[in-house]
Each structure stands twice: as C-alpha cells, then as structure tokens.
C-alpha cells in the first residue's frame, strides 16, 4: 500500500491530503472499506485532489449524491462539514447507504485562504471554462475536470437497476452577513416544477430563505440541475470565517440532514407550507460598466436588506441604479469586480412557482 493510501486510512483526513497536493495527487486509487460492525463494504475511490467518492458494495441504493464545497476556497464551514462526513465514512462511524461524491472545488484557493486564485470558479460551469480565452488558468481547467467527475458519477449511477434520484448540494458561505442567515439559490429549471420536498429538506438544514433563479447561469448547481436533472442548489450556510473559527453548532442541522440522506434514514420532513419560507426571485443584475462605480450602502450591509423606492443603490459613471419595486433588496454586492462583471443583484419577494 502506498504512503498516501496509508495516510488516508489512518488519518481519515482527505482535506489534509488535498491541501498537501493542491494541483494533483501523486496517485489515484480505490480501496474497499469494511464497516467494523455490519461487515458491509464500501468502495472508496480517490479520483483527484479534492475528489473522492464512496459507493456501497452489493447493497441497495437509490440516490446519487454530490456534495461540493470550496468552490470558493475561503468558505471554510462547508469544507469542515464535508471533511467530517468523509472521515466518519472512512472510520466506519457513518453507515453509508447511498452513493456519494465529495468535491473540494478549489484546493489552491483553500491554501491561500481566498475566494479564488485567478478567476471565480462558480462562473465557469456549463462550458464557460472554455469560452473567451479558453482554458487559460487553473480554475478553468478545474471547472472542466469537476464537470467530468460529476458526469461520470451520475452516468455510473445510471447503470444501476431501478429508479434513482440525483442530488447536488453545492455548499458555500456568504462573504457578508445576511438578514436571512442561511439561504439557498434554486437554479433555473426551464419551466419544470420546483420540488417542494427539496425545500422541506433545506428547511431541515435550517434554511428558510430561497432565491429562485429565472435564467441559465454558469454556476455549479445550475450545471447539475440542467444537464443531469439533479435536485441541485447553491446552499449558503452563513458568513465566511477562517478555519477553526466556525461555530459548528450553527451547522449541526445541516450536517444532521446530510447524514440522514447519506444513511438513507427517514428525513422526517413535514408537509410543505409556503409560510415557513421567505421566497425571493432575482429582479435585477447590475454589472459594473465604468471605472467610477460605487455602491451607496455600507460595506457590511447584509444580504436581503431592502431599501425604499427610488433609493439609489449604485452609481456607475452617469448612471444611477435605483430601487424601483417595493421590497427590492440587495444580495451579493461586490463593487470591486472587473468592468463588465456582476457587482450587485437585487431580489424581490415572490411565491414559489
Ligand atoms: Zn461561495
């Protein structure tokens, strides 16, 4: 057995190995894990740095689950949640009953504690990695590779007899605080109905704010929803903190819900009731068009803060971007983006479609 296999089996710390080899592992490998009490086997496949799958052997499964984190490298809480789940599976503390693929999206950016190294990975999916200048940086190569790992994982699941359900939760934390601490972006489904059970699942994760996207995007969750008909969400679990400074109690609902999903236990979901949720839709996308761009609100204004009608939100050279609808609120502001990039979204309350 090689050093790296030995290291993984003794430490169960796939995150440490990923951080040790941020660009590529010295080798890839598969290992059969035997659960200490049940004797059931799980096939562990280490496919790349930050890419590891677990598949129950000779057991009934009906779900293919992708859990991604570190698509933005400084968003540590989801990385810690996923590392804990991986460790529990390797140590036999979690009796896995479904296929799962874990992805640490951008290992190099984890190591520098930044959102990304050269380019925002979560703008590079659905082929955007190859647009414009093409595969010109590591994030673009990684986006292509991650697409292929997800495709292979779902394709392999499709070879298993019986009806299966695909899931992809792309786990993030927001740069800023949020009036609604945790929220999820529900990608555009091209008119297909939104899944209420999935909203109940998110509620069980502690997420009651849902942002409906009404157009195709280049995010990871849209990629999986659109190309593989997966139940896919960008899940925002709170505010960015350095490693070790996350209050993991804030994430216990989420970790518990994911554990139930992986172990095929009853999720205990209640009937859907829209009044349990704050549902928003994206109203405006404001791109930065000039050098003279600024946002009028405080640097630390929280996501989902709303402003009165006619309030100026952003000034871009001669253009003023104003509130035009009651309840219009800001989300994901970032004045420091490159010209032509998105500096702000606004959202308005809506009903689930
Ligand atoms: Zn993020």
The reported pLDDT for the residue numbered 255 is: 96
Coil, strand, or helix at residue 209? strand
**Gyration radius (Cα) of the chain, Å:** 20
Q: How high is the pLDDT of residue 275?
A: 94
pLDDT, residue 245, reads 87
User: What residues does 256 pair with on adjacent strands?
Assistant: none
- Of 169, 167, 195, nearest in space to 182 by CA: 169
310 shares a domain with 232: no
Q: Are the C-beta atoms of residues 17 and 104 closer than 8 Å to each other?
A: no
- For residue 183, being part of any structural domain is answered with yes
Residue 77 Cα to ligand 1 middle (Å): 11
300, exposed or middle or buried, with CB in 10 Å at 0-12, 13-18, 19+? exposed
Confidence (pLDDT) at 169: 98
Give CA angle at 269 (208, 76), nearest 5°. 50
Residues β-bridged to residue 288: none
- Residue 283 forms part of a structural domain: no
Helix (H) or strand (E) run with residue 84 in it: helix 76-91
Give yes or no: residues 250 and 332 share one domain.
Answer: no
Report CA torsion sign: 284, 289, 108, 239.
negative
Q: Are residues 212 and 342 in the same domain?
A: no
Range of the domain at 336: 288-349
Looking at the structure, do residues 210 and 271 belong to the same domain, yes or no? yes
Q: Tell me what pLDDT residue 241 has.
A: 85
Mark which of 275, 296, 318 sits at the end of a domain.
Answer: 275
Positive/negative CA dihedral, 221, 225, 228, 229:
positive
In a domain, 282, yes or no: no
Distance CA 233, CA 66 (A): 11
The CATH code of the domain that includes 214 is 3.40.630.10
Catalytic annotation, residues: 236
336 carries a ligand binding annotation: no
User: How many structural domains compose the chain?
Assistant: 2
Same domain (yes/no): 100, 40: yes
* All residues with CB under 5 Å from ion ligand 1: 72, 75, 172
List, for the chain, all residue ranges whose pLDDT scores fall below the cut of 70.
none
311 and 205 fall within a common domain = no
Structural domain includes residue 281: no
Q: Is 231 annotated as a binding residue?
A: no
């Amino acid at each position: 057995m090689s050093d790296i296999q030995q290291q993984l089996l003794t430490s169960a710390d796939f995150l440490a190995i990923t951080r040790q080899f941020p660009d590529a592992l010295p080798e890839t490998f598969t290992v059969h894990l035997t659960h200490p009490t049940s004797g059931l086997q799980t096939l562990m496949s280490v496919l790349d740095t930050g890419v590891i799958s677990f598949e129950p052997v000779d057991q009934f499964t009906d779900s293919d689950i992708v859990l991604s984190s570190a698509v933005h490298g400084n968003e540590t809480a989801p990385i810690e949640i996923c590392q804990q789940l991986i460790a529990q599976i390797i140590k036999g503390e979690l009796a896995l009953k479904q296929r799962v693929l874990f992805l640490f999206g951008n290992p190099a950016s984890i190591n520098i504690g930044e959102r990304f190294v050269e380019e925002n990975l979560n703008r590079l999916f659905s082929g955007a990695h190859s647009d414009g200048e093409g595969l010109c940086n590591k994030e673009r190569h990684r986006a292509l590779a991650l697409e292929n790992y997800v495709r292979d994982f779902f394709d392999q699941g499709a070879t298993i007899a019986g009806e299966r359900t695909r899931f992809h939760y792309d786990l993030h934390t927001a740069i800023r605080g949020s009036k609604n601490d945790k929220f999820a972006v529900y990608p555009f489904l091209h008119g297909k109905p939104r899944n209420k059970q999935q909203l109940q699942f998110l509620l069980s994760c502690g997420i009651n704010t849902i942002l409906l996207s009404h157009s195709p995007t280049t995010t990871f969750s849209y990629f999986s929803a659109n190309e593989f008909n997966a139940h896919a969400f960008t899940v925002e679990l709170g505010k960015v903190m350095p490693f070790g400074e996350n209050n993991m109690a804030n994430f216990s609902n989420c970790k518990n819900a994911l554990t139930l999903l992986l172990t095929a236990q009853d999720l205990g979901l209640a009937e859907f009731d829209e009044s349990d949720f704050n549902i928003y839709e994206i109203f405006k996308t404001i791109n930065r068009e000039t050098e003279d761009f600024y946002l009028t609100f405080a640097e630390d204004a929280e996501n989902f803060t709303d402003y009165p009608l006619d309030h100026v939100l952003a000034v871009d050279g001669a253009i003023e971007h104003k509130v035009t609808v009651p309840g219009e609120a800001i989300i994901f502001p970032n004045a420091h983006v490159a010209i032509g990039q998105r500096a702000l979204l606004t959202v308005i309350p809506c009903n689930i479609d």
